[in-house]
Structure 1
Amino acid sequence: TATDKGAEIAKEYIEHQRKELSKTDVSDAFGSFLSDMGEYTKSEKYFKNLLQIHPNDEHTAILYSNIGRALGQKGDYTEALRRYTYAHDIEMNVSRPRLKHIAGSLLGIATIHNWTGKNDLALEFYNKALDTYKKVPKVDQQDIAYTINNIGIVYYDKGDYDQ
């Protein structure tokens, strides 16, 4: 029945969120939940407050990516792109770059380009993200699948159905 189907979907969603939460810093989870609920301004402010508390630690790049996400979802694409790019620059200049975070910032950059209709740039950055995810030890296959799906969406938007 429809009720059973709805309960199954809810169960799958809760399980997915539980897995995601286990991979996430608890302080990040709250800001992400705000974004997921459509509270983009609150999410942005929350992450900016965390940035003031932790301005120069290993978590800084993640905070900038999360701010970029909130800004992008609000439609402030220029500022979102700036934050994602800054997060990427931070990750590239640490003593031990974290490939998963580098890929995540590339994914954010690609998404902003996609949302602004810059398909060729979106493809370039989605492919860079995909290449980086493939280098991550014990990569989460969902990250790779999500990136490939986004590449497919850009090709679809371009009308390049053979790709």
Structure 2
Amino acid sequence: MARARRLATLGGVKWILIVWLAGLGSAAVAAAAAKAGERAPGAPPFSTATVSPAEADFQRVMAVDDAAHEEIDKWIKDNGAFAKKGAGLADAVLSLKIEQRLEPVKRAYEEFLQRHPQHARGHLAFGSFLNDLGEEADARKRWEKALELDPTNPAAFNNLANSYGQTGPVAKAFELYSKAIELNPRQAIYYHNLGSVIVLHRKEAATHYRITEQQVLRNALELYRLAEKFDPANFQLATDIAQVYYGLQPPAHEAAITAWSRAQALARTEQEREATHLHLARVKAAAGKLTEARVHLDSVTDASLAGVKNRLARELVDQALPQSNKDDDRRLTLPPRKP
């Protein structure tokens, strides 16, 4: 993983979750690992010959962290491939192996911060490390300390906003994301995160911003578009943009089709590509384009998507029936009258 993964986070995917996803196959694991690793771009590695001793020490800790996570990523992907052949490690065994691999990394962070307690980026990085382990309360303390030491660091505001977005009060998350954007208005992750949290908490966002829920969704779409300007190849962002159209009223079918087509073009794996076919089938069916919707469904062969595919296929059959047949169906399913 990139060294900058320990700075601004997109919302942590915990290692245990990625281990669980290993059972779904290597494509799902790769997608989950990629999402876990999406981080704000950072500065290139420092040369220890040109930086302070504290900074050189910090870079050594980050290198230890990077090496551990790269090794873990490989374990997870390899185990997913083995599991498809019936030879993978059990989730509990792999989780324990990962936990043991990360113990020396945790100690390295702790010892570094004992030596350099005023190192803001050290607290920030350690907080992200702890958050990935599921130690959210301790992660928040580290991020708060990082912000205390450097109140101009947008990544600290972003990471704390992620924390409040999960545990509340969510209004605090809105404010913290906005501050991160103010400090660095060219960082895609901050717009993406704010857009996602107001979609997830649209009622609270409507109250906070004193607008309607429909306006909340349109504001989220605008935030996503700003993020897209700085990160145009981000598949997850493209799917989040497309998802917003499910909630918009009146429906904007053509815009939704365009958004899902763009997401499909950015898909990184065959499973992601097939998932976008399901969404395209759904939105084209809603637009009355039943023949095109069937073509998309026929493109889906991944067994893990079969349930959704079959449900959509049944809905297409029902939608294609003449109205009189639908009425007959409904009459046939009515319970018998009581005498």
- If the length of structure 1 is used for normalisation, what is the TM-score? 0.64
1:70 and 1:18, CA in 2 relative to 1: closer, same or farther beyond 3 A? closer
Q: 1:55 to 1:12 in 2, by over 3 A?
A: same
Per-residue deviation, 1:73 = 0.5
Letter in 1 for 2:25: E
Residue in structure 1 matched with residue 10 of structure 2 by the alignment:
none
Paired residues, what number?
147
Q: Cα deviation per residue 1:116-159 (whole Å; 9 max; x = unaligned)?
A: 3732343133111222133226542322222332x146x1xx7x
Q: Does 1:49 align with 2:145?
A: yes
Deviates more, 1:20-29 or 1:98-107: 20-29
Which stretch has the larger CA shift, 22-31 or 100-109? 22-31
Q: Which amino acid aligns with 2:163?
A: A
The answer (yes or no) to whether the contact 2:224–2:241 under 8 Å persists in 1 is: yes
CA deviation vs aligned residue, 1:10-52 (integer Å, no higher than 9, x gap): 7435642574369579665653454455543323212112223
Deviations 1:66-104 (A, max 9, x none): 10110121121122222122222223xxxxx41414523
The equivalent of 1:103 in structure 2 is 191
How is 1:21-40 mapped onto 2 (pairs within 5 angstroms)? 30-32=126-128, 34-35=130-131, 38-40=134-136
Calculate percent identity across the aligned residue pairs. Answer: 20
Q: Which residue, out of 106, 124, 129, partners 2:223?
A: 129
2-structure distance, mates of 1:138, 1:75: 30
Corresponding position of 1:94: none
> 1:62 deviation in Å?
2.0
| Structure 1 residues 69 and 161: alpha-carbon distance in aligned structure 2, compared to 1, 3 A threshold | same
1:85 to 178, 191, 198: 178
Distance 2:127 2:134 in 1: 11
RMSD of aligned C-alpha atoms?
3.7
Once residues 140 and 229 of structure 2 are traced to their aligned partners in structure 1, the CA distance between those partners, rounded to angstroms, is: 30
1:142 to 210, 215, 236: 236
The structural deviation recorded for 1:113 is 4.2
CA 1:42–1:115 in structure 2 vs 1: closer, same or farther (change >3 Å)? Answer: farther
Q: Is the 8 A contact 2:170 2:204 kept in 1?
A: yes
Tell me the equivalent position of 2:214. 120
- Flag structure 1 segments of 5+ consecutive residues without an equivalent: 92-96
Secondary structure of the structure 2 residue equivalent to 1:134: helix
Amino acid at match of 2:34: H
Residue 167 of structure 2 corresponds to residue 68 of structure 1: no
Task: Quote the Cα distance in structure 2 between the aligned partners of 1:125 and 1:152.
Answer: 12
Give the residue type in structure 1 aligned to 2:161.
G
**2 CA distance for matches of 1:162 and 1:32?**
39
* Distance (whole Å) between structure 2 residues aligned to residue 37 and residue 152 of structure 1: 34
| AA of the residue aligned to 1:148 | A
Structure 2: where are the runs of 5+ without partners?
Answer: 1-19, 44-61, 63-121, 207-212, 253-339
Answer yes or no: is the 8 Å Cα contact 1:69–1:108 preserved in 2.
no
Correspondence for 2:30: 12
Question: Normalising by structure 2, what TM-score?
Answer: 0.35
Cα distance, 1:21–1:79 mapped onto 2, change above 3 Å? closer
